[in-house]
Amino acid sequence: MLRYWLCFASAVCLAGHCGANYCRDANLCCPGRDSSCVVQKAHQNAIIEDLTDKPCYCDHACLKLGDCCPDFRETCGVMDCVVSGWGPWSHCDTSCGSGSMVRNRRVVQAPAHGGRHCPSLVQRRACQQHHGCSADSDVPLRDETAMLLPGELSVSRHFNETVDIRKNLRLRNPDDPESNSHREYCVKFEVTKVSKACHTDSDYKPLREGGTVCVLCEADALRRDLKWRCAGHGVVGHITRFYALLVPHCHGKWVRADHNPDKRSDCCLNPDFIFV
């Protein structure tokens, strides 16, 4: 609409070009932005009653504004950028821990005469590699995410085994005796970052930035493949991640504050959360 009024305000009507409908007929092909490079399909002072009578433009700006003459692209040699398909992903750039993979594509046809610019030719995505870690490396532990349930559920299974959500997740060790309780331990974490969703549920409100929480690793959450520990129990002094199992979008980061406290401590007897 702005260009429509600009056309009438400037009273542009190039000699011999009035009434032409195409850039080819008007012999117009202007580079860049040029509001005077216009084909009038009606007299400049006429009242436009039919939208098809509006002026059309022969400059490159019309590609973005959508008011080009019908044959502008062909007549003026407009060519959009054309790229190839994506190539294969590269190998992960690390053999231990978090890294990245890259894939590329190439320009098949460069843009010309105001055509669409080329999109990004490189893509990256995250990757994890542990096969190159040494036996004593703590990198795999830092990459783990702890899944949490409210601490009050640590005693609920004694009243009714069916309410334990971990059964549904198949994380129990049915072939292990109850004596595994001697392996239980608890961990203190200092919360460094937490999403807003955690504050919408009263059970997860202890997750406050700068606060300290205690998480209990019960026998039901012990993992044989992790050498009888809970997944995501972190590394002392390093940031790791947590995720609230019952509250969507509740997640964050924390730092393991110490080694296993005494099982008789208040931290273990009244944990804020339990590992899953």
Q: What pLDDT sits at residue 31?
A: 86
Task: Spell out the domain ranges in the chain.
Answer: 2-75, 82-129, 139-275
Whether the Cβ atoms of residue 124 and residue 111 lie closer than 8 Å to each other: no
Whether the Cβ atoms of residue 276 and residue 218 lie closer than 8 Å to each other: no
CA angle 43, 47, 49 (to 5 degrees): 110
Query: Which residues, given as ranges, of the chain have pLDDT below 50?
Result: 1-19, 156-161, 170-171, 177
Whole-model pTM above 0.75? no
Phi first, then psi: give them for residue 214, nearest 5 degrees: -115, 135
Q: What pLDDT sits at residue 255?
A: 92
Q: What pLDDT sits at residue 159?
A: 43
Q: What pLDDT sits at residue 246?
A: 86
DSSP string for 132-184: TS-TT--HHHHH-EEEEEEGGGGTHHHH-GGG-HHHHTT---TTS-GGGGGG-
Nearest to 188 by CA among 208, 154, 212, 222: 212
Q: Give 4's DSSP letter.
A: H
Whether the Cβ atoms of residue 239 and residue 181 lie closer than 8 Å to each other: no
Q: What pairing do the DSSP bridges indicate for beta strands 145-150 and 239-244?
A: parallel
Fold of 82-129: TSP-1 type 1 repeat (2.20.100)
Q: Which residue has the tokens 């795999």?
A: 140
